[in-house]
Structure formats: structure tokens, C-alpha cells
């Protein structure tokens, strides 16, 4: 059974790969045998995670790119292909959701940035990399979506709309590039990454892993199982799926 999750000989490209869930997946993929392209806006952060992957005996390629900028995506993809010669796993993980005081206070610039990183970037990158996968040996695309896409909150509405659009991309690209390219979404709930420090209800420092309201949040390591499943041959008949990793209903996440 463990061989089904083996990624030896494969190359993964992870956006937002230098921290949080992206870093957790980069390390996990390296441990499973994959070489990893670590992509995010800050090169020094990419280099730090890349060194962690290399310490596992795998190759790593740090690459700075703002995925919300259309013209930056193709050069980044070309650089990864030039370095590794292939991409077998694409993880569209980069995301952003800036806070705002009220819906009417959301600026056009802020709205466009959220749409750019969470929706426009994944569309362009999946179109480019997915096409190469489809014309080659195939592969797996994993979109990191959010529970906000199906349970929208007024406190992150542009983000929720962008992630709902990302879910739409998942099924659309799955149809476009099947059968040799699988495109799936992990629909995540609250996770204890550095982003959670800015939540209106912050983590409870006396009880790590919980918010002040007593709700458990996920740890980055808890995304690994789903990511390995979708990246590997274990999910060979899973395509166009939206896999919720959110800790279940609110009541189930309460501290007892």
C-alpha cells in the first residue's frame, strides 16, 4: 500500500511553497521521493524551504514569482521546466485574503489582487503546465481551495468568490485534460499557519491548536495525507473532486 504514495522520480511545483501548508507539502513530497520547485514571491524564503528539501536527499529549485501577475507565470514555468525537464505535480497553493473593515471599504485594487492570486494565477499556470502534462506523460494538479467557497462569510467575501471560481476551474480543467491529467481541489478549513495570527478570533496561546472560541484548527502536517493521496497513484481514479479537509462541523471541532 505504501508504494501507491511513492513519488520517486517525480517533480512537484508548489506555489506559495515557502511557508504554511505549502512548505508542509514541499517537505512531505520530498520525503516521498519527489524533487520540488518551491515558488513564492520572496526568493530568500523559497531558498530556505528548498534547503530543507535538499536535506532529504532530493533536488529543489527555489523560484521567486508573483502568481497574480499574468506575465510572470510563463517565465516561471519555463524556468522550472528548464531546471527539471518536467513537472508531474502542480499545487496551486498561493493565496491571499487581506482584511477589510467593511464590504463597502473594499478597494478595487485589493479586490483585483485577491482575484489575481487566488483565481487568475491558478488559471494561467494550470493552462500552461496542464497542457504540457496532457501532451506528455500526464500528471496531477492540486488546487488549494477553502471552505469559504461553500460557506461564504462577509469578512472574506472577495476571497470566497475567488475560491469558488477555483473550484469551478478544478472541474473544468479536469474535463479538459483527462484522462491522463487529474485535477482536484483540497477544500481547507482553518489551519494554524502564520495567516491565522491575523484572524479576528486568534489562536489561544494557552491551548495551541485552538482559537479563543475553543474551536480546534488544523496543523500544517494534517494537510499532508490528502496532498500525498492526490499527488500519487493512490488517487488514480479521482478526478474533478473537491476534498474537504476542515475538521468537520463546528461542534465537532470544539474543545471537550
Give all strands of the β-sheet with 139-146 in edge-to-edge order.
Answer: 60-64, 35-40, 11-15, 89-92, 139-146, 181-188, 242-245
Q: 184-216: string of b/e by CB count within 10 Å (b at 16+)?
A: bbbbbbbbbbeebeeeeeebbeeeeebbeeebb
User: Rounded distance, CA 198 to CA 49, Å?
Assistant: 23
Residue 223: Cβ within 10 Å count = 23
- Indicate which residues carry an active-site annotation: 159
Amino acid at each position: 500500500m505504501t508504494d501507491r504514495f511513492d513519488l520517486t522520480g517525480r517533480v512537484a511545483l508548489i506555489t506559495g511553497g515557502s511557508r504554511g501548508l505549502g512548505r508542509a507539502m514541499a517537505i512531505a513530497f520530498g520525503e516521498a521521493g519527489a524533487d520540488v520547485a518551491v515558488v513564492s514571491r520572496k526568493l530568500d524564503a523559497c531558498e530556505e524551504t528548498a534547503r530543507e528539501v535538499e536535506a532529504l536527499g532530493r533536488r529543489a529549485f527555489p523560484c521567486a514569482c508573483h502568481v497574480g501577475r499574468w506575465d510572470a507565470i510563463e517565465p516561471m514555468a519555463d524556468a522550472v521546466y528548464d531546471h527539471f525537464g518536467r513537472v508531474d505535480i502542480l499545487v496551486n497553493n498561493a493565496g491571499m485574503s487581506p482584511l477589510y473593515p467593511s464590504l463597502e471599504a473594499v478597494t478595487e485594487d485589493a479586490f483585483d489582487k485577491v482575484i489575481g492570486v487566488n483565481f487568475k494565477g491558478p488559471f494561467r499556470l494550470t493552462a500552461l503546465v496542464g497542457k504540457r502534462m496532457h501532451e506528455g506523460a500526464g500528471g496531477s494538479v492540486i488546487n488549494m481551495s477553502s471552505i469559504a467557497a461553500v460557506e461564504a462569510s462577509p469578512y472574506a467575501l472577495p476571497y470566497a468568490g475567488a475560491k469558488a471560481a477555483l473550484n469551478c476551474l478544478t472541474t473544468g480543467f479536469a474535463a479538459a485534460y483527462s484522462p491522463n491529467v487529474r485535477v482536484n481541489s483540497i477544500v481547507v478549513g482553518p489551519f494554524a499557519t502564520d495567516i491565522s495570527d491575523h484572524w479576528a478570533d486568534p489562536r489561544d496561546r494557552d491551548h495551541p491548536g485552538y482559537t479563543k472560541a475553543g474551536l480546534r484548527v488544523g496543523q500544517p502536517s494534517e494537510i499532508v495525507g490528502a496532498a500525498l493521496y492526490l499527488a500519487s497513484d493512490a488517487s488514480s481514479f479521482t478526478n474533478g473532486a473537491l476534498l474537504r479537509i476542515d475538521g468537520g462541523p463546528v461542534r465537532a471541532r470544539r474543545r471537550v
